[in-house]
Every structure is written in C-alpha cells, then in structure tokens.
A and B are shown apart, each in its own frame.
Chain A
C-alpha cells in the first residue's frame, strides 16, 4: 500500500478552521443515495450544521455541445432526449423551436396542439416524480414515489404507443412532428387526463397536510426572490419564490396564448412552496390538456415542405427557449451555412438552478441538504450534459 494512501486513511476526519474550531468535511457523492446520480457536494459541517458547500459536477459529462457541432441538425434530435431523460419531449420541442427560429419554419396548427399535449403530459409526470423523489429524500420509503411512478407509467405507455419509445422519444421534427397522433392516441390521453385529478388528490392527502413534511419543508432552504432573479433561477423554483415568470405566458411560444391557465406562485420560497407550486402546476397543466384535447384541429402534423435530409440553414443564429418542467430550457444555435451548427449550446435549467444551492444550504442541517437539493429538481444528464 502506498504511503500517501495510508496517510490519507489515517488523517483525522476533522479539519481545523480558524475561528470555527474543528469541522467535519464530508464529500456527499458521487456515490450517495440521494444525489440523483453522480453528483458531489463537498460539505463542511460544524456538528450537523452546514458551513460551506461546493457542488462538483462533470461525472456524467459527455460534451453534448461538441456532439451537436459534429452531427447534423436532425441527428441532434435524438441526443436531446438524453439531456433531461425525464422530459425528452420538452427537450425535443425546445430544440425544434430553436431550429425553426433559425430557418423561419412555420409549424402547422395540429402539430402545435400535439406538442402542447405532449409537453403538458411530460410536465405532469416530471412534477409527480420530482415530488416522489423529494419525499424519498425526506425518508418516506418510496411510497409517494411509487404512486407517482404508477401514474407516470400510464403517460409513458401513451408516449410509447405514439413515439415508439417510452423515454427516448425523438418525436419532434423541424416544422412538425414525426407521426400523427391518431384518435386512439387522443382518447388514451383523454383517459389519462380524466384519471389524473384523483391521483393528485391522493397525493395531496398523503403529503400536503402531513405535519412531518411541513416541519421538514416549511422555512427550510429559503430562496429570496431578488437572489432568484439575479441567479437566473427559472421554473417552479423561481415561481415558488414569488416571481411571476412563466415562459409560456411571456413568450407565448407555440400556441400557449390560446389556453386559459394560471401560474401558481409561492410566497416564502421554501421547500414546501416548491412542492406546492409543483402540485398546483400539475392541476393547471390538466386544464391546458383538457382544452387542447377538446380543440385539436384536423390537418397536417408536419409542414409538407419541411426538409428532413440535407438541412442547411443560412448563416445566422437563434436562441429558442421554452418552459421545460425544470425551468427555462434554451438552445442557442449559430449556423455558418453548413450541415451542422457552427455552435450548439444548451442552456440547461437544472444546471443553472444549482447556482444557489450553497446559499440555500448554508446554516441548515446536513439532513436538509439532500432535501433542498431534491427540491431543486435536477437530472444529471442535463446538469453535466
């Protein structure tokens, strides 16, 4: 055994910090049950209180941006599935939106409706499983998670019958969608939508008024609205801090201006608000789904003039963004006229939402670190790309 390894093992577990006394330094992750994959937090503890926390990334880094610059525009579509593998359809949409913006491609109405339906279903299943994971991190032995997965399974079954794959959908195309949503698919979606309110009620019965959950989450991991805006936090986490910013309402991308829905806002910006905002957003998504499934028109599902092969946009750039379940998902493309983008950039919401992880965790308990982390809602595939 090498001498240095021996030394490392025999080193006392605490570190001396001036003015603070003996502190415990713990590397939470990359092998840790609650880091959602391979993520590391270097935590410095005083007893169980967090003094310092540094996130360490990159264990799942695959350099998607470089891949995007080597393969063609269409070929990048299946790779976007693998960013945030919980919501491949919203990833598809964001990328399709950016490319459509780059080339000025119009999308037929029916395709827009299909996109909205799929994106909102994705949002529901993402929020449900996020809450499941969050409570799992609070130690609920997986019961809410299993309930969430039970419903998620129904949505994924619809995705599979429509797109061919449960998670890696690769469904959207520039100017529309790959295949049409038939009446059978729409009916399946309607059936899911009618069944979901009961599930959300059940979920809320189990959790919302649970005193332990309240004790664990109210007043914990508070994020102030000014900091949230300044740090570029987006999605439910931002709205839980009380900032009214939903890209569906701001940009009206797709056809979101046609639906009536509300944006739930939190007040305290703590974990409980993040939980509740997600629950309420699921209910609002159901409203959108009901309207979209009622109004979906007949027509082409893809622009017949849209090009699949030999796609060469004119030189220029575009930044397309959507309200993905985790926050603002943007794709920034620079074209030099070639078959693949000159610059391909993903703006990953879960990565940027982690900016304030340290601010939310300092002064909290080590047990709260994992809960705060869970409430951010990240997927490592997107954080590390």
Chain B
C-alpha cells in the first residue's frame, strides 16, 4: 500500500502511456513528464510567493496579503491576472527582439534544470549519468538571459543590474560547483539518482545524509550561500537591488514579461533548492527510517519548501551586501573554504572508519572558518565599536 502511494505517479504515467501504440509511447511519456513539471512548479511558485509575502509580513508585525480569497490564498492568482492584462511596454529605443527573448530564454533554461532532479523514487525525468553536470550547464545559461534583458532595455539601471548579475553569478558558480564536487568525491558519481541512493541508508534509524558529515555540512553551508547568490536572493539581491537600481535588469519590463522574470526567478530558486536537497539532504529519502511510510516525493517537496522558508527568513532579516564585498566574499572566503573542503573530503576518505576522522575533519574546518572570518573582518577593519560620551 505504501509502495503504491509512493509510486502513484509513476504507475499513473505507465498506465496512460500504455494506452497508446508502442512507437508513440516515448514521446507521450516525455510530454506527460513535461506537463507535470510545468504544472507543479509554477504552482509551487505561487505557493512560495504567497508564503513569502505572508511570512515576511509576520516577521514585520504585519498580516500580509489577506484580501483575495480566504486568508489571501488567491493572491497569486490575482497577481497573475493583473500581470496578464497589464500593458506590455517596450522602451522605444530598446532592442525589441532581444528584449522579447530574454524572459523566454530565462524560463526555458530554468525549467530545463528539472529534467535531472529526482523528485521521488523512480521519479527522474531523464535519469542521466552526468545529471549534475547537465544541471550546472543549464543553470549557467540563466546569466545569458539576464544579460540580454539588461543590455536590450537600453536603460542605465538595467545595464548596471545586468553587469552586476553576470559578475555575481559567474563568481558564485565556482563555489557552487566546488562544494558539489565534495559529494561527487564521496559518491563517485555525477548521477543525481545515485547520489540519493547513497544517502538513502540508515544506521540506527538515522539517515546517511551528507549534511551530517563534517565536510558535507561545510559544503552544505557553502552551497546554500552560493545558491542564494546564484538566484539573486537577499542578501545577495544586488542585480535587482531595489533601493539603488530601481529593479535592476528588469526595470524596463512590464506585464507578462515581468511576470516571466518573476516566475523564472522563483522557479530557479525552487530548482536550486531541489538540487541542494538532493545533494545534501538526501533528496527524496525520509529523515528517519520509520518515516519511510510517507511517500518519497512528499519528502522531496517538503525539503524544497523548508529551503524556501529559510530563503524568506533571510530576506526578512538581512541588509544587502555591496558588489565588491560580494565578490570578495566569493573569491576570498567561500572559494578557499570550498577548496579546503575538497582537501578535507580527501582526508576523510583516506583516514578510514573511526571517530578520529570526525574530530580531525571537524576541527580543521571549524578552525579555518573561525580564522578566515576573523582575518577577513580584521583586514577590512570591521567589528563592533565602543563610543565615548561628552557630558
């Protein structure tokens, strides 16, 4: 029964595909999967937008949207309708073709990433051997669309935003990749399915998630930071830094194209959360062995939503960094840490079983973090201050 529930979508797909003649079956299967992804993730986008607005509101002692539908749950629908019926303004001197293509490219590229994500047991659209590689290739293409948008708008704010976005995303791609390499080293595979399989084992009822190992945890933190920067989320939301650049690269977009950017951003967020969950939090595997009765796809989506909530929480709390600080942080702190982490992962591998490797690896990483942080703060002369008073 639990197995049935777990595999309900897979079985459903097989049943439907079985209805058509053999030669058409692969195509229908692909179409079904695509439709499912295109239906589920924009739905999740709507939910996370609502969650963000409500959650942010609650953090700021407000209620948040509560007028459309009960408790405001229909707010995303209203927003969508509004975006659809708004006039689509294109600046006179903009490059019309590129201006039109930019949001389309973003949405397409972002959805491509889902092809390799295992969303449940046997629920990977394309179980690719080099899934991780494919994912990063697709993720990197998003920069193209952002640059297209910024350049074609012929707006100075857009241009500045696009420049920032490209610099930032390229910089953070490096730590993002390197922190994932740790997982590849531990599993010996680039296949995301394989990575989940490795984590889906239990000792004393506890899972073997990579986040519970020293270098896995370090990689997880680095990955989270880089993922935030990669999706242009607060505190790394400089490309659209509202207070300085109005709306950054999509300043000149309105109506449905604006909505597409919005959608692209959130879907990218969801997908990178999905990747993070797959790599470090065991993908679709349950957090405790006894919880395996709950279907695997539930765990996958639950982990995504928790990740999104953390994003929202950060957005509600932090101010934004500045461009050069962001770059410094990426190249001078996160990157060395990820490199060290690779070293530690190697050490872990060769030290063999036992408690010693836990202590050594944790100590190395912790010391590096504390030292690096302190040196970084010192060199920039940051720190708390004391004040004098005049009577």
Min distance, Cβ A216 to any Cβ of chain B, angstroms: 6
Min distance, Cβ A271 to any Cβ of chain B, angstroms: 11
A264 at the A/B interface (Cβ < 8 Å)? yes
Interface size on B, residues (CB 8 A): 45
Task: Select one of A210, A265, A266 contacting B319, CB under 8 A.
Answer: A210
Q: Mark B231-246, 1 if CB is under 8 A from A, else 0.
A: 0001101100111101
CA distance A312 to B242 in the complex (A): 52
In chain A, positions 236-278 with a C-beta closer than 8 Å to chain B are: 244, 246, 249, 262-268, 272-273, 276-277
A218 at the A/B interface (Cβ < 8 Å)? yes
CA distance A137 to B85 in the complex (A): 31
A-B contact pairs, 20 of them (CB 8 A): A13-B159, A25-B156, A32-B246, A34-B243, A139-B235, A139-B319, A143-B59, A211-B377, A212-B321, A214-B382, A214-B383, A215-B322, A216-B320, A216-B321, A216-B322, A218-B380, A249-B390, A262-B389, A262-B391, A276-B387
In chain B, positions 348-391 with a C-beta closer than 8 Å to chain A are: 377, 380-385, 387-391
Interface size class of A (residues with CB under 8 A): 35 or more
In chain B, positions 171-189 with a C-beta closer than 8 Å to chain A are: none
Which among B19-27, B116-124, B127-135, B310-318 touches the partner chain?
A: B310-318
Q: Mark A6-30, 1 if CB is under 8 A from B, else 0.
A: 0001100100000000001110000
A150 at the A/B interface (Cβ < 8 Å)? yes
What residues make up the interface of A, taking CB atoms closer than 8 Å to B?
Answer: 1, 9-10, 13, 24-26, 32-34, 45, 48, 135-143, 146-147, 150, 206, 208-216, 218-219, 244, 246, 249, 262-268, 272-273, 276-277, 280, 365-370
**A276-B388 in contact given A139-B241, A141-B56, A367-B238 (Cβ < 8 Å):** no
Contact yes or no, A212 B320, CB < 8 A: yes
B203 at the A/B interface (Cβ < 8 Å)? no
Q: Chain A residues with Cβ under 8 A from B246's Cβ?
A: 32-33
Task: Select one of B317, B381, B387, B391 contacting A280, CB under 8 A.
Answer: B387
Greatest chain A CB density within 10 A among B60, B93, B156, B322 is at B322
B323 at the A/B interface (Cβ < 8 Å)? yes
Closest to B91 in A: A9
Q: Chain A residues with Cβ under 8 A from B238's Cβ?
A: 367
CA distance A147 to B317 in the complex (A): 12
B37 at the A/B interface (Cβ < 8 Å)? no
Min distance, Cβ A242 to any Cβ of chain B, angstroms: 9
- Extra contacts, 16 of them, besides A13-B156, A219-B381 (Cβ < 8 A), are A10-B93, A13-B154, A34-B243, A45-B160, A48-B160, A135-B319, A138-B320, A142-B60, A210-B319, A214-B384, A244-B390, A272-B385, A280-B389, A366-B160, A366-B244, A367-B238
